[in-house]
Structures are given as structure tokens and as C-alpha cells.
């Protein structure tokens, strides 16, 4: 993606039904099998109950952010005890399980890897295009990704309830896994030497998209098999990332249909 400064991000108002607060309430939510998006914990929090929470969080591999108490206060003024958990409306899947399943069905994997796309509307729009195109999965990082909330679900037109979303600790490790699993990893960047339509997407493919303000992290660019670009002839610096993702996804669809016609 082309880099663009001063990107306006759309963040939806927080739905009060999408979080629980209080140390014991959060512990019970986790034990009840609720899918937790992330947990906000007041900096310096340390007591017996919080230690139980931290142990459970490590066991369940749930993202935690240590934040000033004011951030939690902005969400709720009730007795949160310095702990608030955002609940996810979807169940995350493991990419290590998704990829073998695609091959077992005799299908050619098409996966999207989103590097810190934090705008919920962009994320929802990408999910919608990906599902319509028949993509098999979306990979997002634990930190820096858009929260999957009611606004994201609405923008996706329900696609986030259908397409597997895989949340991973390390995008770098995941890209290595995808390459080792036989996927050709293409990074969408203005630095690409080839136009996107000059690169084959008929084989197993993973497309990496970066946030509009920062693009794809250099570490991830180095791991990609190839860099591709979308040619631009106007004066505006870049395409919206959801539009760019749609262009690339449906190019893969076009190529695959053409190959079987």
C-alpha cells in the first residue's frame, strides 16, 4: 500500500454489552468459555485475585494491555477494580488447523494477512470482500488490529461470522508457517516491482496488506516471496486499504476462474 499521512480512523462507540469488568467477573467469563478480545489492566495492579487472573490469562493466551486507570474510567465508572475485558462476538480459529483443512478439501488456499489494520470499518469491508470471493481465512495480529465489535460485524455484512479469523502472536512466524505450507506470500506495497496482475495467484496464495499510515512492516516485507503494486495514475497518494484488498482478492479469483475455463 502507498503510505499516507493523517489517516482518519473510524472507531465505533463502545457497546456496553461487549465488555465485562471487575477481576472476579473477568475470571469467571474466561472460565465460562467466553471469547475474550483483550483485557485492560490498571498499571501496577497486584493482589491475590489479580495474580489468579494473570495466571489464567497466560494459560489461555489472551492479550493484555497495562493501561492508566483513566482509560478504563472512560469506558465505565462502575467498580471495575482496574480490570476490564472486551468480549469478541466471534470465535477465533488457529491458522495451523485451517490450512491443512483447506488442502484436505482439495482446494487452493487463498489467505489474507492484515498487518495492524485498526480501522473497524476497513476491517469489516475487507472481511466482506474476502468472504464473497471465497477466501479461506483472515490472519490478524494480537496487538494493533481492529477490535471485532458490532460495528465491524455490521460493516462485514455478517461475513465475520462465516470466514475464519485467526489471531496470532507473531505475523512473522505465521508468514513463515504459510510459506512452509506451500503458500506464495505476496506483499501489497508501492515498492513492488510488478503490477498485481503480472503475478500468478493460481497457486496457494497469501496476500499481505498493511495499514494506510504505515504500510507493511519491513520485517514482514522481507519474508514475502514477492512484492506487488496496484498501478495508480491519479493525484491521490493511495487507495483505501479495503478497496486495495478487494482488487487483489478478485484478481486471484479471476486468474483461478480463467485457469479452469
In this predicted model, what pLDDT tens digit does every residue of 217-230 receive, in sequence order? 999 999 999 999 99
Whether the predicted pLDDT of 4 surpasses 90: no
CA distance 118 to 145: 5
Torsion region of 6: left, alpha or beta (phi above 0 gives left; psi -120 to 50 gives alpha): left
How high is the pLDDT of residue 3? 42
Give the percent of the chain with pLDDT over 90: 71
Residue 221 near residue 227 (C-beta atoms within 8 A): yes
What's the distance, Cα to Cα, between the start and end of the chain in Å? Answer: 31
Task: Name residue 167's beta-bridge partners.
Answer: 140
Taking the C-alpha atoms of residue 146 and residue 140, their distance in angstroms, rounded to an integer, is: 9
Band (232; pLDDT cuts 50, 70, 90): confident
Among residues 140, 138, 147, 136, the alpha carbon closest in space to that of 104 is found at 136
Euclidean distance between CA atoms 222 and 217, whole angstroms: 9
Whether 179 has a pLDDT exceeding 50, the answer reads yes
| pTM (2 d.p.) | 0.83
Write down the pLDDT at residue 15. Answer: 53
Amino acid at each position: 500500500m502507498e503510505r499516507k499521512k493523517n489517516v482518519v480512523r473510524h472507531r465505533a462507540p463502545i457497546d456496553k454489552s461487549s465488555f465485562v469488568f471487575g477481576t472476579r467477573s473477568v475470571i469467571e467469563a474466561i472460565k465460562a468459555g467466553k471469547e475474550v478480545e483483550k483485557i485492560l489492566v490498571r498499571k501496577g495492579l497486584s493482589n491475590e485475585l489479580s495474580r489468579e487472573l494473570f495466571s489464567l490469562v497466560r494459560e489461555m493466551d489472551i492479550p493484555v494491555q497495562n493501561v492508566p486507570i483513566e482509560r478504563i474510567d472512560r469506558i465505565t465508572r462502575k467498580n471495575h477494580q482496574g480490570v476490564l475485558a472486551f468480549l469478541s462476538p466471534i470465535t477465533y480459529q488457529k491458522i495451523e488447523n485451517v490450512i491443512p483443512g483447506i488442502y484436505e478439501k482439495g482446494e487452493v488456499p487463498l489467505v489474507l494477512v492484515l498487518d495492524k489494520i485498526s480501522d473497524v470499518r476497513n476491517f469489516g469491508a475487507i472481511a466482506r470482500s474476502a468472504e464473497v470471493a471465497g477466501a479461506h481465512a483472515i490472519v490478524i495480529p494480537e496487538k494493533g488490529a481492529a477490535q471485532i465489535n458490532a460495528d465491524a460485524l455490521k460493516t462485514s455484512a455478517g461475513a465475520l461470522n462465516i470466514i475464519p479469523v485467526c489471531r496470532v502472536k507473531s505475523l512473522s512466524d505465521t508468514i513463515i508457517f504459510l510459506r512452509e505450507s506451500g503458500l506464495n506470500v505476496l506483499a501489497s506495497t508501492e515498492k513492488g516491482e510488478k503490477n498485481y496482475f503480472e503475478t500468478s495467484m493460481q497457486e496457494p496464495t497469501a496476500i499481505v496488506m498493511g495499514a494506510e499510515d504505515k504500510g507493511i512492516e519491513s520485517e514482514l516485507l522481507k519474508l514475502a516471496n514477492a512484492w506487488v503494486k496496484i498501478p495508480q495514475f491519479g493525484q491521490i497518494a493511495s487507495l483505501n486499504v479495503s478497496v486495495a484488498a478487494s482488487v487483489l482478492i478478485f484478481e486471484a479469483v479471476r486468474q483461478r476462474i480463467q485457469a479452469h475455463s
